[in-house]
Amino acid sequence: MKMKSILGASILVLAVLVCGCTTTNAQNTVAAATPEIPNLVVPNLVGNWTGTMKGYDYGTGFNDYAGYTMTLAVLEQQDRVFAGEISFTAPNGTQVWGVTPCAGVIGRDGKAITIIENEGGYSSGSLIAPDEMEIIYADGREPFSIAIDSLKKN
């Protein structure tokens, strides 16, 4: 009889724990550390990435930015976080729209890329190969715009 009572109490305690019916004090909860990502080789993005753009600008319409070149200069990187600047060159070789500081991260899969630009706009995309990425730029400010940027590392 005593064995049945111990077994019954054990099953009840186990059921409570499995169902999550326990409470904790939020002040005593410790955030779990970010787990290591096994076998992830973090790609080195430092360097110049150049390429083309195609997009849509509200009020102007579709645009292939013929002859314009986009450059993402990744100036520094620490693990999966990087920083740099974005610039654009006109067909005649002159820089247009100024240089925009930016920062980004590489996703847990080692391929996803997310970039935020100073004063608006962000991009998300992926590394297609070690020297090639495609990112989608979006800016919701007026007039809003969106573009596909295809970049290769120089």
Where do the structural domains in the chain lie, given as residue ranges?
47-153
What does residue 56 show for φ and ψ, rounded to 5 degrees? -140, 130
Please name which of 107, 130, 115 lies closest in space to residue 85, comparing C-alpha atoms. 115
**CATH hierarchy code of domain 47-153:** 2.40.128.120
pLDDT in tens, 24-45: 444 544 444 445 567 789 999 9
C-alpha 89: how far from its chain's center? Answer: 25
pLDDT in tens, 91-139: 999 999 889 999 999 999 999 999 999 988 999 999 999 999 999 999 9
Quote the mean pLDDT of the chain: 83
pLDDT value, residue 35: 53
- Check residue 98 and give its pLDDT: 87
pLDDT of residue 120: 86
Confidence (pTM)? 0.74
Strand partners for 150: 52, 134
User: What is the C-alpha separation between 121 and 100, in angstroms, rounded?
Assistant: 10
